[in-house]
Amino acid sequence: MSAPATSPSVWRRIVTWLDVRFRSPAAIYGLIVFTAFVTIAEDHAESIEDMLATSVASLIVFFIAHVFAHTLTEHSEHGFRAATRNALRHGAGMLYASVPSIIVLVVSDLTGATLADAVDNCLLTAFIVLAILGYHAFQSRRAPVLGRILGALATAMLGIFIVILEYGFH
């Protein structure tokens, strides 16, 4: 017996949904910024919950600023409601991209990890997500497998380097 005809289309819709939300400039920016917020918050936090609350709140402020800037620049062309709707859709990736790291931080907290281990887990998660995005980008350009792997590693390392730079300036 064969699988229902709708299975591939359901899978394709899921992949497309994830692709649209995680493979955007706003999502990549959000992932890097959130990871930087976590590393910065670690210096002042007394617990994983405290660090997570500070990091999420900071990301939400950046998201609001992004939506404001996007709305303001499109308001005259599309009207307030359409500009705000476009801004929310455009900037949503900033929030989506932080979800894997938030989940890792919550799991780290629930399993009794130390604050330092939670940050390490968050950095590893960001590295993996960036590597997947880099791999996909090189795959889309039809790079050979070795080029995809090297591109994924370079993408992830550059993203983490940016997080370290951001941490260093704060």
pLDDT of res. 118: 97
| pLDDT, tens only, 52-109 | 999 999 999 999 999 999 999 998 899 999 999 999 998 998 999 899 999 999 999 9
SS3 22: helix
Is 6 part of a structural domain of the chain? no
| pLDDT, tens only, 110-129 | 999 999 999 999 999 999 99
Integer CA distances (angstroms), 45 to 42, 51, 103, 149, in order: 5, 5, 18, 36
Neighbours of 62 (CB within 10 A): 18
Is 152 part of a structural domain of the chain? yes
Is 108 part of a structural domain of the chain? yes
Is 11 part of a structural domain of the chain? no
Is 14 part of a structural domain of the chain? no
The helix (H) or strand (E) run that includes residue 82 is helix 80-96
* Among 119, 114, 118, 70, CA closest to 92: 70
CA 145, CA 14: separation in Å to the nearest integer? 25
Residue 45 is encoded by which pair of tokens? 């936090």
Integer CA distances (angstroms), 48 to 8, 60, 100, 130, in order: 40, 18, 16, 23
pLDDT of res. 34: 96
pTM to 2 decimals? 0.86
Q: Which residue has the higher pLDDT, 22 or 129?
A: 129
Q: Which residue has the tokens 């791999």?
A: 135
Is 8 part of a structural domain of the chain? no
Domain count, the chain: 1
Is 85 part of a structural domain of the chain? yes
Domain extent at residue 119: 23-169
Q: Which residue has the higher pLDDT, 14 or 163?
A: 163
Q: Which residue has the tokens 């940016």?
A: 162
Is 13 part of a structural domain of the chain? no
